[in-house]
Chains A and B, each alone.
Chain A
Amino acid sequence: MDRYTEQRLFGLLARASAALIVGVLALVVGVTLYRGGRVFLTDPAVAITPPGSRYMLDGGGGFLHAVLGSLFIVVPATVIAMVLSLSTAIYLQSDYSSERTSEVINMFLNVLWGTPPIVYGVFVLTVIIAVGAQTSLIFGVIAIAIFQYPIMTRYADEALKATPDTVKEASYGLGATRFETARVTVRAALPGVIAGIIMGFARGIGDAATVLFTAGRSTQMPGGPFDPATTLPILIFEQAASFNAEVRSHAYAASFVLIVAVLALIVVSKLLAGRYARFAPGGRQS
């Protein structure tokens, strides 16, 4: 094979691989939207109807409990993870920590970032058993917050690192303290920080392994923070292979709701990042 044939061949292979991946994405989104949409759009009320008493057997009612459970678990978790991850990311900047310290912390963050979600689930479950509690909504919140923390810290850290040093220098030059300077830096990095928070929210709302053991997989409406709850991913996971076609169809409808939510979050994150970028120094696109 002469070098020009080789060049054409591999150029073609590279294009084919990219096309394959884009095609698979289209397939995944398409199948979910089509199969889920067929159920969901003929009867959108399933998403706002509470489940019947024998929901897992006959699919009576709807899956409002999972929609609410997802919101009640992921929204507080995102708030907790946001506060913690932003603080950690600020600490990692050179103002507060030496290069050596931030390197060490970053190493641990990388390990946490790569930790399988199931390990967080097992960890929180172990804690639940140790304190003698029962699986409930509040532990789902904790598990998801732990899961989101390294993801959101990475985004925030990258955004803060990318702000021009001049912002920091100008702030210190006016006599501001480190904390006041950090506030200015965060404001300058806002597009990236917000994009990170939304991506963390999207990852949190889509994850099943962390909450599978910790939130309690109930088939009733969530009662309070110490009652068992369920989320959309858990519902899909449990019902996707059900023998009852009605129960299975709810998994499809739930996946429709979930993928629309996740896609919308990604779009919002990109739009917000672009919008706020106009106010950031240098108009950086994140």
Chain B
Amino acid sequence: MSSTTDHGAGTDGTPGTPPSTDDARSDRLEWRLTIERLSSYWLLGAGLFAIALFGLIVLTLVQQSIPIVSEHSLLEMVTSSNWDPAQEEFGFLPAIVGTIYVTVLSMAMGTPIAILAAIYIAEYAEGRTKMIVSSFIDVLAAIPSVIFGLVGLIVVVPFVGDYLAPALGAHSIGLGIVTVSLVMAIIVTPFMISLSVESLEALPDELRESSLGVGATKWETIRSVLLRAAGPGIFSAILLGFGRVFGATIVPAMLIGGQTAIPDNPFDAGETLPTLIVNDFGELMSLPLTQSALILVGLILLVIVWLFNFGAMLVRRRLKRRWQY
């Protein structure tokens, strides 16, 4: 950034200044303005890139899933439980049931823990402890999911197969929906915690003070005032968590056991929509219809995650309005 050459900006051709420096000044200005113009085109392009990328992904997926949709009706595929690409049978129902099982189970386990841990970080922890615990949460969020899958194979699979399933009177080989849900519940908490902590900490201290001032205990303050005021933020965190579990691929593919039938109970092996894509990848190249079916699965994932995100955004927008106490 040069500040010395800038004085010439508005005084082009002023009588009295030597013509040579004047030219140099206006050249310099022209150069700066050219850079400014060129960079603004580039930046505009970069800004629109986000939209273009999204549009391109949606268009490609839609265009590639047309063959399968014109062959079999969407309703038929969603309600049929027979998945056999070799026989051109594309029933998504087992995968849909598996996905719902995994999503509901892991959110049911993960959400209360995440909210309580967020309350701890935002309201109870102080100073060093708070810093350490919240940076641990950051680390947990950054650990690759394939490592969770590996640890799941080493620790959770024997735990479920040898202890949890027999204790609940079920039979399990260890791989299955419950195993995936246990691991996914852990993976999804850091996202929910950091978003919930953010919305709890954004609340003004007057809320806490006035609630405590009228005689509420700390927990009553949290339960009846803070959670309610931060409610939309926490709710949108939960929705984003749903989206995460829903689209998780690697952990389910490693731990669910891959079985294309509707699971009888949560300890059964199963299939989720993303694992359908992973497991049938080999056939993807050879059979055009299978390829189209799997791309349709990708499109379904995208649309549903988009709905979750959209819901989260609406909720957050409400939050902005609610902030005016």
List A residues at the B interface (Cβ < 8 Å). 3-4, 6-7, 10-11, 13-18, 20-22, 24-25, 27-29, 31-32, 35, 84, 87-88, 90-92, 96-97, 101-102, 104-105, 107-112, 114-120, 122-123, 125-127, 129-130, 146, 149-150, 153, 171, 174-180, 182-184, 199, 202-203, 205-209, 212-213, 233, 236-237, 240-241, 251-252, 255, 258-259, 262-263, 265-266, 270
Contacts and interface: CB of A to CB of B under 8 A. Distances in A.
Given A91-B44, A236-B150, A118 B140 contact: no
Contacts of B64: 126
Contacts of B308: 114
B116 interface: yes
A35 B247 contact: no
Contacts of A206: 142-147
Interface string B281-315: 10011000001001100100110011011100100
A3 B147 contact: no
B120 A96 contact: no
Contact of A118 (B48, B147, B219, B298): B298
B235 interface: no
A4 B50 contact: no
Given A10-B219, A122-B294, A149-B53, A87 B43 contact: yes
B168 interface: no
A286 B313 CA distance: 25
B120 to A, nearest CB: 4
Contact of B147 (A32, A146, A150): A32
B36 A177 contact: yes
Nearest to B35: A179
11 contacts: A6-B217, A20-B113, A20-B117, A27-B151, A28-B148, A87-B46, A87-B47, A117-B249, A176-B6, A178-B36, A209-B249
A199 B220 contact: no
A209 B1 contact: no
Summarize A's interface: helix, strand, loop or mixed.
Answer: helix
B60 interface: yes
Contacts of B151: 27-28, 31-32
A4 B217 contact: yes
A16 B120 CA distance: 9
B67 to A, nearest CB: 12
A237 B120 contact: no
Contact of A13 (B116, B218, B285): B116
A6 to B, nearest CB: 6
A14 B50 contact: no
Interface stretch (B85-93, B131-139, B202-210): B131-139
Nearest to B239: A114
Given A91-B46, A116-B247, A180-B32, A208 B309 contact: no
B44 A96 contact: yes
A32 B116 CA distance: 27
B1 to A, nearest CB: 6
Contact of B254 (A20, A237, A265): A237
Given A114-B244, A236-B147, A262-B144, A18 B133 contact: yes
Contacts of A118: 247, 249, 274, 277-278, 298, 301
B70 interface: no
Interface in B47-67: 47-51, 53-54, 57, 60-61, 64
B219 A115 contact: no
A158 to B, nearest CB: 11
B319 interface: no
A18 to B, nearest CB: 4
Contacts of A120: 57
B123 to A, nearest CB: 8
B189 interface: yes
Given A91-B46, A111-B309, A259 B143 contact: yes
A81 to B, nearest CB: 11
A208 B223 CA distance: 40
Determine which residue in A21, A28, A32, A123 has the highest number of CB atoms from chain B within 10 A of its CB, and name it.
Answer: A21
